[in-house]
Amino acid sequence: MRIHKAGIMPITVILILVLLILAIPNIIQQEQNLLHYILYGAATLFMVYVVRFFRRPDRSINSDPEAVLCAADGTVVAIEKVMEKEYFNAEKIQVSVFMSIFNVHVNWYPVDGEVVFMKHHEGYHYPAYTPKASLENEMTTTVIRMEDGKEIMVRQIAGIMARRIVSNACEGKNVKQGEEIGIIKFGSRVDLLLPLDMDVKVDLHQKVRGRRDVIATC
Q: Does residue 146 lie within any of the structural domains?
A: yes
Where residue 62 falls among pLDDT bands split at 50, 70, 90? confident
Q: Which residues are catalytic?
A: 188
Which pLDDT band, with edges at 50, 70 and 90, does 80 fall under?
very high
E-only strand ranges, the chain: 2-3, 55-56, 67-69, 74-84, 90-99, 106-108, 113-121, 139-145, 151-158, 165-167, 174-175, 180-184, 188-194, 199-200, 207-208, 214-217
Sequence letter at residue 160: I
pLDDT in tens, 6-15: 778 888 988 9
Same domain, 49 and 148: no
pLDDT at position 123 over 80: no
Average pLDDT over residues 106-113: 95
Q: 13: domain range? A: 2-56
Q: Is the pLDDT of residue 1 over 70?
A: no
User: Do 45 and 71 sit in the same domain of this protein?
Assistant: no
Mean pLDDT over 167-191 rounds to: 89
Which CATH number belongs to the domain containing residue 145 in this structure? 2.70.70.10
166 and 72 co-located in one domain: yes
How confident is residue 166, by pLDDT bands cut at 50, 70 and 90? Answer: confident
Q: Residue 103 has what DSSP assignment?
A: S
Buried b (16+ CB within 10 A) or exposed e, 60-91: eeeeeeebbbbbbbbbbbbbeebebeebeeee
Pairing verdict, β 2-3 and 180-184: unpaired
User: Residue 146: its pLDDT value, please?
Assistant: 96
How many domains, in total, are found in the chain? 2
Residue 61 lies in a domain: no
Query: Is 177 part of any domain?
Result: yes
| DSSP bridge partners of 139 | 121, 157
Which tens digits make up the pLDDT trace of 139-163? Answer: 899 999 999 999 999 999 887 655 5
Same domain, 15 and 110: no
* pLDDT band at residue 126 under the 50/70/90 scheme: low
Cβ contacts of 29 within 8 Å, gap of 6 or more: 36
CA distance 124 to 39: 34
- Given a cut of 90, whether residue 181 has pLDDT beyond it is yes
Q: What is the mean pLDDT of residues 76-97?
A: 95
pLDDT at residue 54, as a whole number: 78
Q: Are residues 148 and 191 in the same domain?
A: yes
Q: 10-32: per-residue pLDDT in tens?
A: 889 889 999 999 988 888 888 88
Q: Are residues 163 and 209 in the same domain?
A: yes
pTM: 0.81
HSE value, Cβ hemisphere, 13 Å, CA-based, for 21: 12
